[in-house]
Chain A
């Protein structure tokens, strides 16, 4: 069930440092990759079916091939912002296996012809920042970064950059804006970052897990990677399971595993006496699944999309019947209200409006028609904005309110102060 591909050596403390990393097979793939043609590496990644592990699930090889020819310099940006609530897989990799990430990044940078890369780490991850900085320094000293890496003629510089507490800087163009020193606000697309990104130059933005997986694809070959997972969702995925399970944590499993398996076998199931109520499969932005849906679905991009949800970042939040869906939704809406960057009107005003309605529903100041109003607002927020934060706020609102409507109506009936009174503070 669990596969230890990326997480093979996590339990070893020495794996964090350069020597321990090299002792466990580290920096052995890099020389092999540097001898390959960059185009061959891209083809290998394409053949492996690796999809972006940060949330969007876009085929990585295809993203790399969008780079226009003859446009220098190119940049590789590693998205270690990990802002999606419920996700904590990248943090573990940066803390336990930073060199794995660095090696994967150097290989990827070589493939796309980038001489400079940045790891954008969210500001709250103090320990990760310190560990990765030390790892980069070690890599420079050992000659894995800098000029003429391992005598191949390939130069590469890597640096980390700290975020400052904005979820929106996990969006690729938001991150690019932040790196450029501007306010971390997403940019209009088109032009796409692969054509005009950081400093108006071709830029590839990939998640930590994606870049680390590249190393293993080159090491074992695309076919070996494709053996795990399903036809369209190949490979392994790190899932961060949290919520009302006995054993929460990060687990690496092949894509296509059933959600029931993850919750009840790998994570030890629910606490005694509790019943499963809902599962959020891909971070708070993914539409919630009811218990019935959760028991049927397998964790891969297609099955979840068919079920009306999404795989996202792979953050599974398990909710049992001791939690109130009203409370959870209010917290979620408050989060999106707080994190909206404020550029486009539907998101800026819509997240605020939704947050206030949820607050009123929680406090008992609302009526049943506010539920319909919230659904209508969310539907009108979707698809109308520069980036997907608006959709990320709208989708949980719609799914919670539609699938658990009876719970919301019961809550209103119980806590309504005066029937028929629509007073708002």
Chain B
């Protein structure tokens, strides 16, 4: 393990590391655009130049291997001047697009520019004009003028997604990124190129122009899209969630995430959510406070069990809740109600073991393994419902099961047969459906139904168990619907206990309306 001195600070790195990795290990800053820890070395931006004692010329840090006893620095005046001119060279043909560029606020060129204070450009020539607003595929838009030709996106499509869609065409300062003939950028990992692009050349069609990044905060979480459990960070503000980006985790997802998982913010925002408890049936819904809905549903469950026995109620669980929530709801069901009639609703049993080779798995639930373990621990009937749905259906048909308690999927898009299953479950006399989002089929209930709003993955703390059995815990990021319950809180209320309403997080408030209008009196 060679030891090197970086700017006077000693650090030990693995053999074969490059200087830039040593910089990262030592926690010191070094400018770089084309190097990325998840991609091969290109060495084209020439900004990571460092001075190595004993070598007269500056060397690039990303391709120079560390040797024992190297003394490296990047703070000397020569290095500073070189990096400043390197930035200059990047900026001379860069368009003045900051007002319309999505990268503003998280742009490497902007940050470096402010750091150096290069307010007076020396370039007085006409800039090179290239194509703008080019459609690269269904998800990504390219602006060639902003591109600094770091080739990260090209290396990504070559090495990570292995789809080889992007290339650099023309040469010199006329070079442009483009799609290879007949191959639009159309794979399930295309939006990672937008993440790794250091400037606003590649922008996501989904996020384009919707929000400025300095209005957003970030929270760490785990993607609920499939059983891989990629580590993500969610950008949000008081109006809701805006986008999801991957976080690095060497064991689970490396540096990437798939495009499907990036849609996991849409079902969290207010538009898709259930905002109040609803009791009733088609055309006669009553909006009630969430706590009241839960309490009355709990009362109904307990009464049914008292009158008709433990087998007259059934619990249907989907694999989209946290381990802690499963423990609590099963404690309520098997403990308070003393019923073992628990069903694991797996939406796509035939696709569960599918894997696309990189990250995306066929099991679209983040916590299937956690649910199976929780059901086994609680002694309830365990195992996927293939073969068991018929049991539930016959029990419903024979009116043996009168009340069904369902913890429905919060990510309704991953359950393609959701509406059919809802119709099937609506055969029960009483349906207590706990879910985060509203659903039209549910609103058409023929029999008495409770709808209880729940919190989504970003609003609660907990842990998911991924397909490997790795338990990944996460904290609550933000609260979109403060009145919604977590499944644990719902279990408490259903069992007749109360929860401490003061300890619950308040929301950020949703889109602001100007209070001054509402608070003014009348003349």
Report which A residues bind B (CB closer than 8 A).
Answer: 166, 168, 183, 188, 190, 337-346, 348-353, 356-357, 360, 373, 380, 383-386, 422, 424-425
Given contacts A166-B171, A351-B172, contact A424 B124 (CB under 8 A): yes
In the bound assembly, the distance between CA atoms of A422 and B125 in angstroms comes to: 10
Given contacts A188-B63, A342-B170, A373-B122, contact A353 B46 (CB under 8 A): no
From B125, which residue of chain A is reached at the shortest CB distance?
A356
5 shortest interchain CB distances as A-B pairs: A356-B125, A342-B175, A349-B89, A380-B85, A352-B173
Write the B73-104 contact mask toward A (1 if CB under 8 angstroms, else 0).
00000000110011001101100000000000
In the bound assembly, the distance between CA atoms of A343 and B150 in angstroms comes to: 8
Q: How far is the CB of A190 from chain B (nearest CB, A)?
A: 8
From B56, which residue of chain A is reached at the shortest CB distance?
A383
Q: How far is the CB of A304 from chain B (nearest CB, A)?
A: 21
- Per the 8 Å Cβ criterion, residues 87-136 of B in contact with A are 89-90, 92-93, 122-126, 128
In the bound assembly, the distance between CA atoms of A425 and B124 in angstroms comes to: 9
The answer, yes or no, to whether B49 is at the interface (CB within 8 Å) is yes
Residue in B90, B151, B170 whose CB lies within 8 Å of A349 = B90
Q: How far is the CB of B197 from chain A (nearest CB, A)?
A: 16
Q: Is the CB of A342 within 8 A of B43?
A: no
The interface residues of chain A lying within 8 Å CB-to-CB of B167 are 183
In the bound assembly, the distance between CA atoms of A166 and B172 in angstroms comes to: 11
Q: Is the CB of A348 within 8 A of B43?
A: no
Q: How large is the interface on B (under 10, 10 to 19, 20 to 34, 35 or more residues)?
A: 35 or more
- Per the 8 Å Cβ criterion, residues 475-521 of B in contact with A are none
The answer, yes or no, to whether B149 is at the interface (CB within 8 Å) is yes
The interface residues of chain B lying within 8 Å CB-to-CB of A340 are 171-173
Residue in A183, A352, A386 whose CB lies within 8 Å of B93 = A352
- Per the 8 Å Cβ criterion, residues 153-183 of B in contact with A are 167-168, 170-175
Report which B residues bind A (CB closer than 8 A).
Answer: 41-47, 49, 57-58, 63, 81-82, 85-86, 89-90, 92-93, 122-126, 128, 148-149, 151, 167-168, 170-175
The interface residues of chain A lying within 8 Å CB-to-CB of B92 are 349, 352-353
Q: How far is the CB of A401 from chain B (nearest CB, A)?
A: 16
The interface residues of chain A lying within 8 Å CB-to-CB of B86 are 345-346, 384
In the bound assembly, the distance between CA atoms of A424 and B124 in angstroms comes to: 7
Q: Is the CB of A337 within 8 A of B43?
A: no
The interface residues of chain A lying within 8 Å CB-to-CB of B42 are 188, 343
Apart from A383-B58, A384-B82: 17 A-B pairs, beta carbons within 8 A: A183-B171, A337-B173, A342-B172, A343-B44, A344-B43, A345-B45, A345-B46, A345-B90, A348-B175, A351-B173, A352-B93, A353-B125, A356-B125, A356-B126, A380-B81, A384-B46, A385-B46
Q: Interface on chain B toward A: helix, strand, loop, or mixed SS?
A: loop
From B128, which residue of chain A is reached at the shortest CB distance?
A352
In the bound assembly, the distance between CA atoms of A188 and B40 in angstroms comes to: 12
Most buried by B among A168, A350, A352, A425: A352
Q: List 16 A-B contacts (CB under 8 A).
A: A183-B167, A188-B41, A339-B172, A341-B171, A342-B168, A345-B46, A346-B86, A346-B89, A348-B149, A348-B172, A351-B173, A352-B172, A353-B89, A380-B81, A384-B86, A424-B126
Most buried by A among B92, B148, B168, B173: B173
The interface residues of chain B lying within 8 Å CB-to-CB of A166 are 171
Q: Is the CB of A380 within 8 A of B124?
A: no
Given contacts A348-B172, A348-B175, A384-B58, contact A342 B149 (CB under 8 A): yes
Q: Is the CB of B49 within 8 A of A384?
A: yes
